[in-house]
Structure 1
Amino acid sequence: MIRFHSANQIAAWLWVACILQVLQDTPLIVFSALCILAALCFCPDRCWRTLKRTRFLLLAIALVYGWATPGQYLWASPWSPTEEGVLWGLLQVVRLLGVLAALQLLLWRLNAAQVFSGLYALLTPLSWLGLNRQRWALRLSLTMSFSAELLLQQNTLSRNDFLQRLAEAEQPGELQEVSILVESLSFFDLLLLFALLGAVLATLLMMV
């Protein structure tokens, strides 16, 4: 069984997210449905919990597109949504659901140390620019871990509670030594990583 480096798995998620931004109509619905079905199959608890947490965001997206996009009114009233707005709103909701489902699959497969290792490898170009990629990778991994911890909580935090928790997390505390094993990239990992990153760049260029 081939074991893929965590950097390749993160790059694959980026590729999926870019593809979902490019696809439209039926291909978008089919591709998003495949991502959602995979998430429901392998990590249903994470998937349903994420859907519950983002339901108001999804509803807001549908409403904004439905009433803010010009086009043919669904019924004879100035307060009516447009056909084009409803269609675009539903497509955006499907697109976001696909991205979230793919992200849950990624976080289901990788633990915090693997996320750091993958980000550390992906941020290698920062070291060429003289920037500290260890700091960037650690900040990103801690942010993802903090978000995952909040997601696992049973009770929904209010805005004030969330800001308070965030402020407490940013307060300086006792210095602790953190040891994280960074996986080495094999030749096969490097080939796959460059292929995935090339696909991501090509997809981004298609979006311009």
Structure 2
Amino acid sequence: MHSGLILLLWLAAVASIQLLSPSALAIAVLGCVLVALLLAPARARRLVRRVRVLLLAIVILFAWFTPGEALLVDWPRLGPTREGAALAALHAGRLLAVVCAVALLLERLSLDRLVAGLHALARPLRLIGVPPERLALRLLLVLRLVEATPRGSGPGHWKAWLLDEDEAAGVEPVRLQRERLSRADALFALVLFAALLWWSLA
């Protein structure tokens, strides 16, 4: 399957998460977490750990600062509200599902294919004067740097940028991989977007 089509499917899944009812969202979050822990456990744990502060902020802001009925009757001024707790669970669940979806995408789609898919999706931007090749290459450079030095150390550290050309001669050249989009993939993408648009307007 074309990498651009995989990204479209992923984007459609992420967008559909925002449209789910609370009960359906709970099932979707549980499924995303289980699948991520089975197929991409290390990456999923790392990404969730990186957004833990954001998750905590969402819970506090929505649960304690949303007007409504007090969840703790004995401490109405100190405890969260029922409406706030529901909103906190809703938004935290959406974020957790998206983070797990990102972990699955990065685990199953190689870096080169990911950038190739983004390059294919960005081709219409050429009509307004934005070259998709530059966008894809810049994204590829950033992602390679992040993957190579997640802690900001090692050969991709900022000090390596100050090396002479002779010292940096061993740096791997950047190549933009391109994939041909078949007619079946293009037709499937159109049907997918039409179905998602109909679902959002229904």
Q: Does the alignment reach a TM-score above 0.5?
A: yes
Cα distance between partner residues in 2 of 1:97 and 1:148 = 22
Cα distance between partner residues in 2 of 1:145 and 1:29 = 34
TM-score w.r.t. structure 1 length? 0.79
- The amino acid across from 1:38 in the alignment is V
Q: Hey, what does 2:35 align to over in structure 1?
A: 38
Q: Hey, what does 2:7 align to over in structure 1?
A: 10
Percent same amino acid among aligned pairs?
34
SS of equivalent residue, structure 1 residue 72: coil
Cα distance between partner residues in 2 of 1:132 and 1:95 = 33
Structure 1 segments (4+ residues) deviating >6 Å: 171-176
Q: Hey, what does 2:45 align to over in structure 1?
A: 48
CA 1:197–1:147: 2 relative to 1, 3 Å: farther
Contact 1:73 1:81 in 2 (8 A): yes
Cα distance between partner residues in 1 of 2:116 and 2:50 = 28
Q: CA deviation at 1:45?
A: 1.1
Larger RCO, structures 1/2 (Cα 8 Å, 6+ apart): 1
Q: Hey, what does 2:183 align to over in structure 1?
A: 187
Q: CA deviation at 1:200?
A: 4.9
Cα distance between partner residues in 2 of 1:24 and 1:42 = 26
- The amino acid across from 1:62 in the alignment is V
Cα distance between partner residues in 2 of 1:40 and 1:132 = 38
Unpaired runs of 5+ in structure 1? none
CA 1:65–1:148: 2 relative to 1, 3 Å: farther
Q: CA deviation at 1:59?
A: 1.2
**Larger gyration radius, structure 1 or structure 2:** 2
Contact 1:15 1:199 in 2 (8 A): no
Contact 1:21 1:95 in 2 (8 A): yes
Contact 1:22 1:206 in 2 (8 A): no
TM-score w.r.t. structure 2 length? 0.81
1:196 has 2:187 as partner: no
Give the length in aligned residue pairs: 190
CA 1:69–1:48: 2 relative to 1, 3 Å: same
CA 1:121–1:17: 2 relative to 1, 3 Å: same
